Structure 1
Amino acid sequence: MSNISIIIQREFNERVRKKSFIITTLLMPLLMVALMAAPALIMQFSRGDEKRIAVIDESGLVAPRLESDEELRFEPTDLTTEEARRTLTDRFGVLRIGGDILENPSDVKLYANSSSSLSVESSITDQIERILEAEKLKRYNIDNLQQILDEVKTTVTLQTFRNDKSQEEETHAQSSTVATVTGYVLGFILYMFLLIYGQMVMQSVIEEKNNRVLEVMVSSVRPFDLMMGKILGIASVAVVQVAIWGVLICGIGAAVMPHLMPSDVMASAQAMQQGMPDAAAASGMDPEMLQAVAAITDLGYIVRIFVCLLLFVFGGYLFYSAMFAAVGSAVDNVQDASQLQTPITLPIILALLMMFAVIRDPNSQMAFWFSVIPFTSPIVMIVRIPYDIPLWEIALSLAVLYASFVGMVWFAAKIYRVGIFMYGKKPTLGELFKWVRYKY
């Protein structure tokens, strides 16, 4: 154990003292927030140049009601279609609307002078559809029809409560939106950690093998101790990184967010945390938004999430890093490792794909079994946890994962102690299994 602890300290200190580790650890939460906000910002600021469209309306119904905006500017013209196409080349295009547009809604043509886009075409068709629908409704001769439609339009807000948790007074509404977003973020974090830190172990083994460092070390340290020390050392780096993120996010959620949010919003969120489901109705706020604020500022909820994240990051990393270490010991360079690591990365990718099915139905039989099988359980189970699944399922998943790690270490160690002495040849998968059967 003293040899393993020395190797753990060496691996840990080598990585934690790097400036890249400190910078990545501090910037990663900001990067995650930026990635989540990027699509909305891109859509907000990616408006194209103003496009002038000449409109030839043979029906006389649509052109007067087309509304121009920052992107599209509609300009009615009395020219024929052929004349407009020939002379109005300075416009983005010519929009022709047929005379029987009410009976034949497909009689709409856009002659663009440059490449068009889906957003432009959708904007045009959406406006024409609304105009035609309003025109058809007029035929029913109902007074104040638009006012009636506006008054009839109703938005239903559904609040979900866990009846299997408590059948007494309504206590705390469950937000599927918050659970889905949290599951997505946690799933991608696990995916990133398993690949990055697993490959970090593999690359470290390859570098030491090429430098002949392993040959010197195994003269005083058993190959098994060397592999375990390397795995646990890099695992401690991952745990420290997640712990720092947890402290940062908990600090932001508990200390900073209350000062950024309006006082009435925070009061309603705290009321919801204390079991007052009607807080949203009383404040007039959107329940989903209020539940999101309540989750972000709930220190107990954030701590539970990060404790589970730590357990599955650590367990999933231990399980996969043993295989990555075995692959690293069997090859001489990263290029040769690409073929051998494919069977390792495929289950990780499968778990990421399963994440979308799990979010659709977190309590299905498929979701349960994929969250127990150790090859996919770290990612799949961490996605299910925000949906408040039974505690025994989490405990079962962790027990199977950590027990499988013991078996995987035994399997990988047999490959490792042979592979570190093999040079100049890339072994096949069949040869790796032969190494497992060697007796010492």
Structure 2
Amino acid sequence: MGKIGLIARREFNERVRKKSFIITTILMPLCMVGIIVLMAWLMTRESDKEREIIVIDDSGMVAPHLVNEGSIRYRMADRTLEQMQEQAPEGAFGILVIGHDIMSNPKAAQLFTYESSTLMIEESISGQIRKIVEDAKLKTYDIDNLDEILAEVQTPIKLQTKEITDSGETRDSSSALNMAAAYIFGLLIYMFVFMYGTMVMQGVIEEKSNKVLELMVSSVKPFQLMMGKILGIASVALTQLLIWVVFIAVAGGAAINYFAGDAMAAAAAMNAGTAGMPAAMGDIGADEMAILSRLTDMRYILTTVIGFIVYFIGGYLLYAAMFAAVGSAVDNEKDTQNLQLPITVPLILAIVVMVSAMQDPNSQIAFWFSMIPFTSPVIMMARLPYGVPMWELLVSVGLLYLTFVGTVWLAGKIYRVGIFMYGKKPSFRELFKWVRYKY
């Protein structure tokens, strides 16, 4: 263990002192915040390019009620459809044709475009036509004050969801927050495991090509060398994660207190069961209040954060051992592509299944993939914000770390042979032979 510790400290000191580590540690949270802000801005930003729609209305009832909306502008046609197909009107985006039987045939509306359309454009046009047709049908019933009646009848329902705990108590639940946390933490596990695992592989390849390993194994065993490298880079990863967590917690806490300080106090009072808390809520909506309530629930936060750390460490150790074995078996990064395939496929599959797990965290596919060690770090983090029984967590974590121990044993056998092999790209059959060698 002393030699493993020396190697781990050497790996840690060498990487932490690099300018790239400092720059990445500082820029990564800023980039993530910037990306989120940019995505939100792009989603809410309306296009500044006007799209003119030429309308041919055979029914005579839709066109008079079409209203310019956003970047879409409507204009009545002055030529036939055939003429406009042969020669496009100047500046026109497309042609909207309304059939004469639009009242009885929902498919009697067609949009011909001169360039690719988008879902937002089509929804805007179809939404207006649907509203116009519905209003026309309602007027056939000849009901007085129909608009006032409809406005009075409309009753939007805001469903408030609460979870029943094992002790029989209830607490606020937010499916929006659960889904966001599942997506973010599952994706972070995937990114970090792949990024730091690849870092182990690249380090082994670099040292092998520089003949450094041949000198080092004269003083330490290959297995000790592999474990020291894995644990050293793991400490780098945890240091970086800790810095990011502190940064996000401080920045996020300051932002929330600035924009929603009273609401956070109300949410904390609600979780503590303090009387008189509704007065602090102000005009905040029920959905936002549920999110803030969960963000002030220490059990929810600790479960998610501790679960992330446990699964990140287990997932990293498992995949880092495999990446180290691949790095020891080749001479350069180009030769790693085929050998990396069995490693990357489970990670990619986990991302695919994660989408299903976010929608139904208690499904059979989500359950079993959260038990399989090669996919459990990503899938279990996608399920954890929704609440997972303790026995499932214990079984999943136990299988993950037991598999890590077995994988390290197999990777160590490949590592001891691979670090001395040069000039040959091994096949999977040869790797299997290396595992069977006796020392």
Q: Same fold (TM over 0.5)?
A: yes
2:272 to 271, 274, 278: 274
Alignment of 1:348-359 (within 5 A): 348-359=347-358
2: distance between equivalents of 1:403 and 1:105? 59
Q: Is 1:392 matched with 2:410?
A: no
Give secondary structure in 2 for the equivalent of 1:26: helix
Give secondary structure in 2 for the equivalent of 1:14: helix
> Contact between 1:319 and 1:408, CA under 8 Å: does it hold in 2?
yes
Q: Is 1:425 matched with 2:424?
A: yes
2:126 paired residue number:
125
Cα distance 1:298–1:32, how it changes in 2: closer, same or farther (>3 A)? Answer: farther
Give secondary structure in 1 for the equivalent of 2:172: coil
Give secondary structure in 2 for the equivalent of 1:341: helix
Deviation at 1:80, TM superposition (A): 5.0
> Contact between 2:4 and 2:224, CA under 8 Å: does it hold in 1?
yes
1: distance between equivalents of 2:240 and 2:356? 29
Greater Cα offset, 338-347 or 75-84: 75-84
Give the partner amino acid of 1:245: W
2: distance between equivalents of 1:26 and 1:150? 53
Deviation at 1:339, TM superposition (A): 0.4
2: distance between equivalents of 1:245 and 1:2? 30
1:302 paired residue number:
301
1: distance between equivalents of 2:181 and 2:431? 39
Q: Is 1:233 matched with 2:267?
A: no
Give the partner amino acid of 1:162: E
1: distance between equivalents of 2:29 and 2:78? 58
Give the partner amino acid of 2:335: D
2:161 paired residue number:
160
1:292 paired residue number:
291
2:379 paired residue number:
380
Give secondary structure in 1 for the equivalent of 2:164: coil
Cα distance 1:389–1:300, how it changes in 2: closer, same or farther (>3 A)? Answer: closer
> Contact between 2:55 and 2:96, CA under 8 Å: does it hold in 1?
yes
> Contact between 2:265 and 2:280, CA under 8 Å: does it hold in 1?
no
Give the partner amino acid of 1:234: I
1:260 paired residue number:
259
Deviation at 1:122, TM superposition (A): 3.1
Deviation at 1:377, TM superposition (A): 1.4
Cα distance 1:401–1:418, how it changes in 2: closer, same or farther (>3 A)? Answer: same
Give secondary structure in 2 for the equivalent of 1:140: coil
Cα distance 1:321–1:114, how it changes in 2: closer, same or farther (>3 A)? Answer: closer
Deviation at 1:73, TM superposition (A): 1.5
Q: Is 1:369 matched with 2:400?
A: no
Give the partner amino acid of 1:401: L
Deviation at 1:206, TM superposition (A): 0.6
1:404 paired residue number:
403
Q: Is 1:335 matched with 2:321?
A: no
1: distance between equivalents of 2:418 and 2:117? 58
Cα distance 1:394–1:138, how it changes in 2: closer, same or farther (>3 A)? Answer: same
Q: Is 1:51 matched with 2:51?
A: yes
2: distance between equivalents of 1:256 and 1:43? 22
1: distance between equivalents of 2:110 and 2:362? 48
Give the partner amino acid of 2:247: L
Question: Once superposed, what is the RMSD of the aligned Cα atoms?
Answer: 2.6
2: distance between equivalents of 1:186 and 1:113? 42
Deviation at 1:439, TM superposition (A): 0.7
Cα distance 1:183–1:95, how it changes in 2: closer, same or farther (>3 A)? Answer: closer
Greater Cα offset, 155-164 or 345-354: 155-164
2: distance between equivalents of 1:220 and 1:8? 15
> Contact between 1:257 and 1:297, CA under 8 Å: does it hold in 2?
no
Give secondary structure in 2 for the equivalent of 1:162: strand
Greater Cα offset, 342-351 or 155-164: 155-164
> Contact between 1:269 and 1:290, CA under 8 Å: does it hold in 2?
yes
Give secondary structure in 2 for the equivalent of 1:33: helix
TM-score by length of 1: 0.90
1: distance between equivalents of 2:436 and 2:135? 77
Deviation at 1:366, TM superposition (A): 3.2
> Contact between 2:266 and 2:280, CA under 8 Å: does it hold in 1?
no
> Contact between 1:272 and 1:291, CA under 8 Å: does it hold in 2?
no
Cα distance 1:113–1:427, how it changes in 2: closer, same or farther (>3 A)? Answer: closer
Give the partner amino acid of 1:326: A
Cα distance 1:422–1:367, how it changes in 2: closer, same or farther (>3 A)? Answer: same
Cα distance 1:357–1:276, how it changes in 2: closer, same or farther (>3 A)? Answer: farther
Deviation at 1:68, TM superposition (A): 0.7
Give secondary structure in 2 for the equivalent of 1:431: helix
Cα distance 1:362–1:100, how it changes in 2: closer, same or farther (>3 A)? Answer: closer
1: distance between equivalents of 2:209 and 2:384? 42
Q: Is 1:142 matched with 2:143?
A: yes
Deviation at 1:243, TM superposition (A): 1.5
Greater Cα offset, 254-263 or 17-26: 254-263
Q: Is 1:151 matched with 2:152?
A: yes
Give the partner amino acid of 1:119: M
1:61 paired residue number:
61
1: distance between equivalents of 2:309 and 2:251? 19
Deviation at 1:431, TM superposition (A): 0.9
2: distance between equivalents of 1:356 and 1:112? 33
> Contact between 1:182 and 1:386, CA under 8 Å: does it hold in 2?
yes
2: distance between equivalents of 1:342 and 1:299? 40
1:206 paired residue number:
205
Alignment of 1:165-180 (within 5 A): 165-168=166-169, 170=170, 172-180=171-179
Give the partner amino acid of 2:75: E
Deviation at 1:90, TM superposition (A): 4.2
Give secondary structure in 2 for the equivalent of 1:372: coil
TM-score by length of 2: 0.91
Deviation at 1:373, TM superposition (A): 2.0
Structure 2 unaligned spans of 5+: none
Deviation at 1:62, TM superposition (A): 1.4
Calculate percent identity across the aligned residue pairs.
Answer: 51
Task: Report the count of equivalent residues.
Answer: 437
What CA deviation, in whole Å up to 9, does each residue of 1:54-84 have, x standing for no partner?
Answer: 3333433112211013311222356555666
> Contact between 1:354 and 1:380, CA under 8 Å: does it hold in 2?
yes
1: distance between equivalents of 2:39 and 2:248? 22
> Contact between 1:242 and 1:310, CA under 8 Å: does it hold in 2?
no
Deviation at 1:149, TM superposition (A): 2.5
Give secondary structure in 1 for the equivalent of 2:70: coil
2: distance between equivalents of 1:44 and 1:303? 33
2: distance between equivalents of 1:438 and 1:179? 48
Deviation at 1:22, TM superposition (A): 2.0
Give secondary structure in 2 for the equivalent of 1:226: helix
Structure 1 unaligned spans of 5+: none
Deviation at 1:156, TM superposition (A): 2.4
Q: Is 1:8 matched with 2:3?
A: no
2: distance between equivalents of 1:74 and 1:162? 49
